[in-house]
Amino acid sequence: MTSSLKDSDPVRQRTRQAGGARGGVGRRPEPSRPWREVVAVATAVVALAAGLGALAAPTVPSVRTEFLQSFTQLPPVYTELYFTQTPTIDGTTVSVPISVVDHDTGTKLYRVRVTLESDKGTVLASSAFTLAPHDAAAGRKVVHLPLRTGATQIRVTLPGHPQTLHYRIAGTSIPSTGSTGSTG
């Protein structure tokens, strides 16, 4: 038995030939949408920039400091003691730039002691002075100590406070005035 695939209804045949029951005859083709491509590319560029920024951020000192402070719980009241720059040796003088910052401790004047020591802890040169930081701004000073043979370490203390700094000079002693140092 064979069946005919032709439709006997002439109206349905005309509709099918014209493009379907929903009026496909007068339908325009889909317009191209270039803005979709622009949005996709712009999204990719923004995502790439954000990713690169997130990778590069920890290499910027101020950003690294913000990250550290955001992940480290600092007490509401504390004192900062730090080297403003790396200590240097110039001829027969060791220059030690330091800063003290008071964060609401109420201390108006800080006693500071800077010593140049041997590897056995013997004090070879020292300087004591006071610093007065104001309104959470650093009190700064560059201390100049005479260079002594056998000096291996710079130590900075705030008598009466727990903060100390240590700076190890390269090598076991200072053989000449051209040496460099490293923190340690």
- pLDDT > 90? residue 169: no
What residues make up the domain containing 137? 78-183
Mean pLDDT of the chain: 78
| Alpha carbon distance 7, 17 (integer Å) | 12
Residue 107's pLDDT is: 85
Among the candidates 73, 100, 124, a domain finishes at 73
pLDDT in tens, 18-54: 555 555 555 666 666 677 788 888 898 888 887 777 7
Is 85 domain-assigned?
yes
Do 137 and 100 have their domain in common?
A: yes
Structural domains in the chain (count) = 2
Same domain for 67 and 91, yes or no, is no
Query: Is there a single domain that holds both residue 54 and residue 123?
Result: no
